[in-house]
Structure 1
Amino acid sequence: MRIDYKISDKFDFKIFIPVLILNIIGLAAIYSATLNNPQAAGNFEKQLLFTALGYIGFFITYALPTNTIKFISIPTYLISLFFLIVVLVIGKKVSGAKSWLGLGSFGFQPSEFAKIGTILLLANFLTRLNNNIDSFKDILISLAIGFVPIGLILLEPDMGTSIIFFSFILIVLFWKGISLLGLFVVLSPGFVAVASLFGSVPFIFSLVIVLVVLFFFKRDLFFNGSVFAINLAAGFFTDNLYNALSPHQQARIKSFIDPMSDPLGSGYNSIQAMVAIGSGGIFGKGYLQGNQTQLQYIPEQWTDFIYCAIGEEFGFVGAILVLSLFLIIFLRLLNIASSTKDEFLSLVITGIFGVYFTHFLINVGMVIGILPIIGVPLPFVSYGGSSFLLNMFMLGIVLNIYRTRKNYA
């Protein structure tokens, strides 16, 4: 019993075991989704290779000196920006986005690597001496750290990954203790941007709301003018960005508002996903027995729509099991972040939580029809080498911090 206590004190099984179970469920679902699909031949075997590499990377990261995490923050961020620029020049276009670098029969998605680079540098900046998260200057610098990679990713264009970046940046700033005013400065451009998609009247109405809130906070003219200018620019930028999106990406946004407006086109995946989930019943149709899954009604179901295969073949019980495992992971991440005394390490874990949680929320949300289909995989479950390797690397960082947490008390 004493040996077990020592092991658990250095290795957090409470988060590792749920991840392992999700990984096993994911492999089973990927096998089912690719079994009768010639276009996906070899994907299951590739995912097995990614899984092995992911766990090797996890244990290497887990064993590194914890101070290495802060040491690599700046170079990791700069290298990630370099690859984001490279992919715009020589990248391979997949699903309308130039976001992949080809490596033989494999591919590498630089935006995945950029997530951890951005988290590390943002945490580094926010924990430097004399930093004030509520100062306009430090808020702008924090946003700049995140919006440089976001801007490059939007040029691909990859809207889904950009949303992930914005979400985990917001979560890190919230954990740092940003005030209501600071939170408003960060969120208001997004609010105005979304409003601008619905036309001129909602756009103008959103700007009026921004002015009213700024008046309520009673700050100086320069501050109010700067915030309003940022919001105004966000609205015009979003409108131009929407027009620059490829037709199929614009169609995805339209189908979110009304999937039935184009049931055989942009709304097809959303409708079929909901059919698959709903047809599973309580206990599912049985492994390898799902009609939607085995007859390939949902294109590339082994990636963004893997949750459909689980819901159809394992039913409500399987779907709830996956949700419960993620809930355990999220609660455990927040527990470790709150108990870690070193602020930099705490913010790093919070950023990692933000990546996992946003991926989970968007993926499940788009499958059940409450969020638009923007191509976001389910962590530890969906097919994808870059995504799985990054997720395991980030998990290695979390457990590395857990292993040495008492050193920073």
Structure 2
Amino acid sequence: MKRHPQIDEYIRQVCSQIKSKEVHEAISQELEGHFADRIADYQSEGMSEKDAVDRAILQMGDSHLIGKQLHQTHKPRIEWSLVGMVAALVGIGLLTLYSLLDSQSLVDSQFQRQILSVVLGAAVLAGILFADYRKLLPYCKQLYMTTLLVMLISLMTSEQVNGSLQYLDLGLFRFDFLSLSPILLVLSVAGLFSQWRWESWRDFSKALVVVLVPLLIYMSASRMFIGLLYVIWFGVLLFSSQMRRMYKWSFVGLIMALFLAAIGLLFAKPYAISRLLIFLDPYKDPLGAGYQTVQSIEAIRSAGWWGHGFGAQLAALPVTESDFVFAYLVYSFGWIAGGAVLLIGILLLYRIQRAMGQVKDRFGSLLIRGLMAVFFVPFFWSILMALGIVPIFSVSLPFISYGGTQFVLQMAVFGIILSVYRRKDITVLAASR
């Protein structure tokens, strides 16, 4: 049936009230279907086409009111509770670094750079928040291949710092690309997994290649923690994919076996193994391999409920601005402050988990799951490391530790998570077309 001009005008008026233009086509098709059904019913009762159209429009109701209701249903939404908790962590981080500055453990230029990183990170988060993450989907394979290529270049050209390859030298500036790579790989692998059908061993084989190459690069660069993080978030995406359960367990078992074998090769020397496992009994060598763990535990133990105060000096513990910033935070502001950071982290995880349940888009859901692992594994590892519960790696506490590049990347992670949540009602309607 040819659409009547009155129906066209009605639909136009409805859509004029809906700011999100991306849902206009889907809503138009939905309204057309309703009108077609009603007009057909009225005509079967003997009405003329004109009378049937008039009756259908009358029964549908006021176009502006319908449009406003649909706008409320499908408008993009920001999860402000997540924004608030991120802002709280950033504020705690700046206060902690300012305390380090007052104790002369941090210099003015470092604190100023962190302030600039906060401003830049906020801009990055806002820019990603209002972007359409779905536009990445057609380019996931290219993104994966490009990321691998730059990782290989980084492996071959980076400078070695503390036994691991760190910075990609681009001439004018140096950049730790391997720290950025987990985010890029989550974006690309989530897209690939959302498109694969997982019906044969061929998909299993492709997934095996996808996981092995980056893992080998991380191990070759001696980036143990990034390798561990990669195994964890890849496993999360794998179990969230549509791969058959028997394949999932086989796959994860194979990955873990390869990762542990790589760890064994890299820590083949007894001295290296003892350093890795010293957290089990750090007081066995308090002035050697267990020194950092012992100093961190003692600093936290001596803090009490309210700590030693703003600007407290903790010269005995190294890297208090990065790896052991949680120990310094508790030492200065007490167990209350440490508990608050831990509680915010748990609430943040809970809120993202709940928000994820409302996302029906397959790509978006996988993105959130992978990025949750990328953020929360370092978050909780850094805290547990300061408490002497897990081995020591070079792990910063997100949003609190000093580090410009890491801070901006962490803000980008939350920009993507918020972007997926913001578009959850739009993507559901668009997918139903």
TM above 0.5, one fold? yes
Cα pair distance change 1:143/1:46, threshold 3 Å: farther
Which of 366, 381, 398 is the equivalent residue of 1:347?
A: 366
Task: Say if 1:10 and 1:404, in contact at 8 Å, map to a contact too.
Answer: yes
Is it true that 1:283 corresponds to 2:348 in the alignment? no
* 1:388 maps to which of 407, 410, 415: 407
Closer, same or farther: CA 403–142 of 1 in aligned 2, 3 Å: same
* Post-superposition offset of 1:313: 1.4
Return the alpha-carbon distance in structure 2 between the equivalents of residues 350 and 369 of structure 1: 28
1:37 and 1:296 in contact (8 A); partners too: no
**Identity level (%):** 26
CA drift at 1:105: 9.8
- How is 1:75-86 mapped onto 2 (pairs within 5 angstroms)? 75-86=142-153
Q: 1:343 to 1:334 in 2, by over 3 A?
A: same
- Relative to structure 1, the CA distance from residue 235 to residue 351 in structure 2 (aligned partners, 3 Å threshold; closer, same or farther) is closer
Paired position in structure 2 for 1:118 = 185
C-alpha distance after superposition, 1:279-311 (max 9, x if no partner): 11112222213xxxx142111111111111111
Distance 2:279 2:172 in 1: 33
* Contact kept in structure 1, 2:275 and 2:289, CA below 8 Å: yes
SS at match of 1:86: helix
Alignment-derived partner of residue 31 in structure 1: 98
> Where does residue 223 of structure 2 map in the other structure?
158
- Where structure 2 has 5 or more consecutive residues not aligned to the other structure, the ranges are 1-67, 429-433
Q: TM-score, normalised by structure 1?
A: 0.79
What is the aligned counterpart of 2:326 among 307, 324, 344? 307
Q: Higher mean Cα deviation, 275-284 or 347-356?
A: 275-284
CA contact (8 A) 2:154 2:177 kept: yes
Q: How many residues align?
A: 358
Pick from 266, 288, 312: which aligns with 1:241?
266
The worse-fitting range, judged by mean Cα deviation, of 35-44 and 254-263 is: 35-44
Q: Tell me which residue corresponds to 2:132.
A: 65
**Aligned match of 1:196:** none
How far has the Cα of 1:243 moved from its partner?
A: 2.7
Mapped partners of 1:367, 1:139: distance in 2: 39
| Equivalent pair of 2:97/2:106 in contact (CA under 8 Å) | no
2:285 corresponds to which of 244, 262, 267:
262
CA 1:8/1:309 → structure 2, altered by over 3 Å: closer, same or farther?
farther
Look up the match of 1:328: 347
Equivalent in the alignment of 2:378: 359
What is the deviation of 1:121? 2.0
Partner of 1:274: 297
Deviation string for 1:79-114 (max 9, x for gaps)?
A: 322332222222122222112235789752212221
Equivalent positions of 1:70-109 (< 5 A) are 70-102=137-169, 107-109=174-176
* Distance in 2 of aligned mates of 1:378 and 1:138: 36
Distance 1:160 1:328 in 2: 25
Closer/same/farther in 2, CA of residues 236 and 304 from structure 1, 3 Å limit: closer
- Match of 1:99, SS state, is strand
Structure (1 or 2) with the larger CA radius of gyration? 2
Q: Which moved more, 1:347-356 or 1:375-384?
A: 375-384
- Output the CA distance in 2 between the equivalents of 1:314 and 1:278: 12
CA offsets 1:344-382 (integer angstroms, 9 cap, x no match): 110000001111121122111111111000111111111
**2:418 is matched with which residue: 380, 389, 399?**
399
**Secondary structure at the counterpart of residue 376 of structure 1:** coil
Equivalent position of 2:57 in the other structure: none
Structure 1 residue matching 2:168: 3-state secondary structure: strand
**Normalised TM-score (structure 2):** 0.75
Check conservation: 2:198, 2:242, Cα contact below 8 A.
Answer: no
Structure 1 residues 110-189: aligned runs within 5 Å: 110-132=177-199, 136-176=201-241, 181-189=246-254
Question: For residue 81 of structure 2, what is the aligned residue in structure 1?
Answer: 14
Distance across 2 between alignment mates of 1:140 and 1:34? 52
